[in-house]
Amino acid sequence: MTNDPSRLRAVVSVPLSEPLCRLIEELEPRLEVVRDHSLVRPMRGPADWSGDPDHQRTPEQQAAFDAMVDSADVLFGIPDVDPAALARTVEANPDLRWVMTTAAGGGSQVKAAELSRDALDRITFTTSAGVHGGTLAEFAVFGVLAGAKGLGRLIQDQRSRTWPERWEMRQVDEMTVLVVGLGGIGAECARRFSALGAQVWGTSRSGTPVEGVDRLIALEDLVDVVQHVDAIVVTLPGTEQTHHLIGAEVLAAVKPGAVLASVGRGTVIDESHLLPALDDGRIAFAALDVFEREPLDPTSPLWTHPNVLVSPHTAALSSKEEERIARRFAENAARLLDGRPLRAVVDTVEFY
């Protein structure tokens, strides 16, 4: 830890390239950015924050890694993206002030660490929520367009070399799109659908206006509202409150032929009730980037359903993700040093 209140000792506890470590130093010179690339697991691909699990530290390296992590005022990343490692360093380091998780849904990792209430009150936890908003919003637009234009039917006809009678495709600018969750991802979705001419509705707890949203909806009114919309875009995090929110009651009430796109957490949608809704046409098409259990079970009917597009939780992945998260860390470090509120703070009651 640093004894200078105008500086912070920031330990990089996950793989981050040297150029991005230097970028953080340039963006916020009051940070002492501590890293040792020989002690973190190497990435296997873009934004592989947990690193190669086959890469093992020697006992001496593990001791050096733990000592480095335990010296932090603030942490870039949960060590090895391992809740148990977070719990260990929180116990060992009473001066730890802030941990930034590299995942947008990092609240679930904090919850899994099973920290004491004292620790949760002492340390601020933030996530990268919003960093992935643009890429996920593009997938949501792609998914709704795929449903509106009948992608499943087009692929089936192409594969069977069938030239059918012409049929009418839907237009996004004639659709009402409901964005369930107007956080960072949802706001980006709303902006893009609005630009395409759609009527955009969105659920909100706060009631604060969001650019591109024509009508704000209270979450408790979801069942009544879904019967009036043409597409539903789910962006919510996975919490006890959102678990199976899109379940039997909502899916029974949807406007027949609705399109569904899911880019939040898979636990928000009850897949056992989604399948019959797909079979009887209540949901005409579903573009799913997230699932209740991942990887998706090879026996799941979702794999082969003609009106489902399966994406292996990859819609957010971008070669620019690491830089965006590094910039977010530097920005929040400046906020912490200046006594301003941090962005994307984890609610340590609901853990999102």
Instruction: Tell me the mean pLDDT in the region 298-315.
Output: 97
Task: Report the pLDDT value the prediction gives residue 206, as an integer from 0 to 100.
Answer: 86
The phi, psi pair for 291, rounded to 5°, reads -140, 165
The token pair at 309 is 């597009």
The pLDDT > 90 percentage for the chain reads: 92
Task: Report the pLDDT value the prediction gives residue 205, as an integer from 0 to 100.
Answer: 86
Spell 271-285 as b/e; 16+ CB within 10 A means b: bebbbebbeeebbbb
Active site residue: 313, 327, 335, 343, which one? 313
Q: Is 265 a catalytic residue?
A: yes
- What angle do the packed helices 321-337 and 18-27 form, to 10 degrees? 30
Instruction: Tell me the mean pLDDT in the region 167-173.
Output: 97
Active site residue: 265, 282, 324, 328, which one? 265
Residue pair 314/289 in contact (Cβ under 8 Å)? The answer is yes
Residue pair 219/165 in contact (Cβ under 8 Å)? The answer is no
Q: How confident is the model at residue 56 (pLDDT cuts 50, 70, 90)?
A: very high
pLDDT tens readout for residues 120-169: 999 999 999 889 999 999 999 999 999 999 999 999 999 999 999 999 99
Spell 26-61 as b/e; 16+ CB within 10 A means b: eebebbbbbbeeebbbebeeebbbbbeeeeebeeee
Instruction: Tell me the mean pLDDT in the region 43-64.
Output: 96
Q: Is 132 a catalytic residue?
A: no
Q: How confident is the model at residue 1 (pLDDT cuts 50, 70, 90)?
A: low
* pLDDT > 70? residue 31: yes
- What angle do the packed helices 133-148 and 151-159 form, to 10 degrees? 60
Which of the 8 DSSP states describes residue 221? G
Helix, strand, coil percent content, the chain, rounded in steps of 5:
40, 15, 45
Across all residues in the chain, what is the average pLDDT? 96
Q: How confident is the model at residue 2 (pLDDT cuts 50, 70, 90)?
A: low
Active site residue: 26, 91, 240, 294, which one? 294
Q: Is 97 a catalytic residue?
A: no
Residue 115: partners with Cβ closer than 8 Å, 6 or more residues away: 86, 87, 90, 123
Q: How confident is the model at residue 338 (pLDDT cuts 50, 70, 90)?
A: very high
pLDDT tens readout for residues 193-205: 999 999 999 999 8
Higher pLDDT, 105 or 27: 27
pLDDT tens readout for residues 93-121: 999 999 999 998 899 999 999 999 999 99
Residue pair 76/100 in contact (Cβ under 8 Å)? The answer is yes
* pLDDT > 80? residue 3: no
